[in-house]
Structure 1
Amino acid sequence: MTARLPWPLAYTVTGDDCATPMPLGYEAPLTEAVGHLGELGYDGVEVQVRDTGAHAAEALARTVEAAGLKVLGIGTGPVAAQDRLTLTDPSPDVRRHALFRLLGAARLAGELGVPVTLGQTRGTFLPGLEDLQRIWAGRAVEHLAEEASARGSRLLLEPQSRVSTSLWHTPAQALAVIDLLGTPAGLVLDTHHLDAEGIDVTQAVAQHARVTGCLQLAAPATRGPLALGDPRLPSLLQALHAGGFTGWLTLEHTQDGDSPKAAARSWTALTDAAAVLARPDSPLSPMSTTSPF
């Protein structure tokens, strides 16, 4: 038994500007990826971009919408993953180039009317430079948030594990940065990174649901596709609902060498979890007196 989720469900895809497919997204050209995801029943995609801007918005939207999907967010992982550009690099030219790329992504997101996310591109510390790198990152994030807001987008900051970055590993740390910004911003929560930092995922989701724009999902331990019957999934969906979540869900995980199969597995696991919560005694049930919307 499956049920429709009360939030849009997206899958990670790689933009045509990227050198290679992102390892945590659908391993196919964009047109092929969105075509299959639309057939599976996904609502949209989170597009990872490397070097593009507002000029690409119309073509991107046309490609995605032709498959019956929507662009729900713009990710910036390839800026660091593929070109090694970060906001904390000791080279001023590299930092400027990284910010230039991120600002382009923000303008693209603004044209599409969706948020732009920031994760590993903030970089890692070098011995003796930590204080300066914090300043560089803080100033750049402020600039990025302002650009996103001015363009009709919104920055979503992702707490990531210390394996990926030296900055802002927990939701509390990311929120402390957001509180200093003069423009609206929010969180991306990723179950893999929360697990890696020893943070209770369900508790974090419940606590921060209202300020979270996107929840990224992967199987515990393996960071692979979701498993049917995973007991954590109904609890996560319940925590999102109870916390007043109004964002979208994204599958961001390894593909196990077979993206069509991985996407189908994760879709089935999530919709099955939603069915568990759709029982008459559940708040997500249409028979419940509490609306999930």
Structure 2
Amino acid sequence: MTAGLPWPLAYTVSGDDCTAPMPLGFTAPLAEAVRRLAELGYDGVEVQVRESGAQDAEALARTVEAGGLQVLGIGTGPVAAQDRLTLTDPSPDVRRHSFVPPDRRRPSRRLCLGLSGHPGPTRGTFLPGLEDTQRLWAERAVRQLAEEAAGRGSRLLLEPQSRANTSLWHTPAEALAVIGSLDAPAGLVLDTHHLDAEGVEVVGTVTDHAGVTGCVQLAAASTRGPLTVGDPRLPALFTALRDGGFAGWLTLEHTQDGDSTKAAARSWTALTDAATTLS
């Protein structure tokens, strides 16, 4: 592993199928982003995608592996953010297109083979009088996604997000209630920004849930920017992950401050500095 950490370190990037780079990821075409991140010493990438058929998966894997990195995770946030498709939309056509259109949802299990993926289209805002129905739509979809992912040797991860993003699963406890109802393996993504936004104490939450967490997404507190050297939360966070038996990966998901290479280098340096507490 790099940066002196016992876990793989990834950076958020956008697939070439995105209509624009995701604002919390490296702002360069995929091949260029992979090359620069490899030079900085990252282990892999977490790729945000829109299209995910077999050909898309093969091309993505070739691009990342040619740059010397691994695809550590797949996110489908652009399906919601760029195409406005969610699994809780009142329109049956929108829900159908967010889940089963050719070369988008169903073939994506190939892309997630051997990885873990978290679905963007589960985002959505509840409408008055439809809350229970929309929640049921989302939970049914998650159940199917988890079963399909498990059938391909993968695992679905649910990310609790702040209420500014979604009406669904704002806290780890709410996401774990859904995970506990599934017949297929699933886990958590813990994003420090969303935990902070919901007033959930980060280190204590990681301590409690390290074993079921597949990915921790990191950003500076309050700014959601790159990490800074001397961040007092990082050493305690790393100790909680190690002592809790965390076996996933870390992802930098933050704003780029106008220069992705410098932002990635800043976060890398901060993590390297904080990792000395584990030695």
Partner of 2:31: 31
Within 5 Å, give how 1:145-164 maps onto structure 2. Answer: 145-164=146-165
Match of 1:176 in 2: 177
- Map 1:53-72 to 2 at 5 A: 53-72=53-72
Q: How does 1:129-140 map to 2 (within 5 A)?
A: 129-140=130-141
Count, aligned residues = 275
CA RMSD of aligned residues (A): 1.3
How many angstroms does 1:128 deviate by?
1.2
TM-score, scaled to structure 1: 0.91
Structure 1 CA distance for aligned equivalents of residues 175 and 109 of structure 2: 19
1:119 Cα offset (Å)? 4.4
- 8 Å contact from structure 2 (residues 219, 252) kept in 1: yes
> Where does structure 2 lack aligned partners over 5 or more consecutive residues?
none
2:98–2:121 contact (8 Å) kept in structure 1: no
**Rounded Cα–Cα distance in structure 2 between residues aligned with 1:42 and 1:102:** 29
Cα pair 2:79 2:120 within 8 Å, conserved: no
Alpha-carbon distance in structure 1 between the residues aligned to 2:174 and 2:3: 35
Q: Which deviates further from its counterpart, 146-155 or 219-228?
A: 146-155
Q: Distance in 2 between matches of 1:43 and 1:94?
A: 36
The offset of 1:222, in angstroms, is 0.6
Matches of 1:39 and 1:7, distance apart in 2: 18
| Superposition pairs of residues 106-255 of structure 1, within 5 angstroms | 106-110=109-113, 113-119=114-120, 121-255=122-256
Q: Please give the alpha-carbon distance, in whole angstroms, between the structure 2 residues aligned to 1:250 and 1:123.
A: 24
| Aligned partner letter, 1:151 | R
Q: How much has 1:197 moved relative to structure 2?
A: 0.3
Whole-angstrom distance in 1 between the partners of 2:105 and 2:240: 32
What SS is found at the alignment partner of 2:190? strand
Question: Which residue of the partner structure matches residue 74 of structure 1?
Answer: 74
- 1:99: Cα distance to partner? 1.4
Which secondary structure does the structure 2 equivalent of 1:257 belong to?
coil
* Contact residue 99 and residue 144 of structure 1 kept, 8 A: no
Q: What's the counterpart of residue 290 of structure 1?
A: none
TM-score (norm 2): 0.96
Q: Distance in 1 between matches of 2:212 and 2:105?
A: 22
The one-letter amino acid of 1:236's match is: L
Contact 2:122 2:138 in 1 (8 A): no
SS in 1 for 2:106: helix
Q: Is the 8 A contact 1:77 1:121 kept in 2?
A: no
The one of 103, 107, 116 equivalent to 1:104 is 107
Bigger drift between 265-274 and 101-110 goes to 101-110
The superposition leaves residues 117-175 of structure 1 with CA deviations (integer Å, 9 ceiling, x where unpaired) of 13463311011111110111111111111111112211000010101110111101001
Confirm or deny: 8 A CA contact 2:7 2:248 kept in the other structure: yes
* 1:229-276 alpha-carbon deviations (Å, 9 max, x no partner): 10111111011001110000000001011101000000110111002x
What SS does the corresponding residue of 1:263 show, helix, strand or coil? Answer: helix
Question: How far apart are the structure 1 equivalents of 2:248 and 2:40?
Answer: 21
The alpha-carbon deviation at position 40 of structure 1 amounts to: 0.1
**CA 1:83 to 1:234, structure 2 compared with 1: closer, same or farther past 3 Å?**
same
| Structure 1 segments unaligned to the other structure (5+ residues) | 278-283, 286-293
Matched-pair contact (CA < 8 Å) for 2:207–2:244: yes
2:259 aligned partner: 258
Per-residue deviation, 1:3: 4.9
Q: Distance in 2 between matches of 1:172 and 1:119?
A: 19
| 1:243–1:119 distance in 2 versus 1, CA, 3 Å | farther
Deviation (angstroms), 1:106: 2.8
Work out the CA distance in 2 between the residues paired with 1:215 and 1:223.
14
- The percent identity for this pair of structures is 75
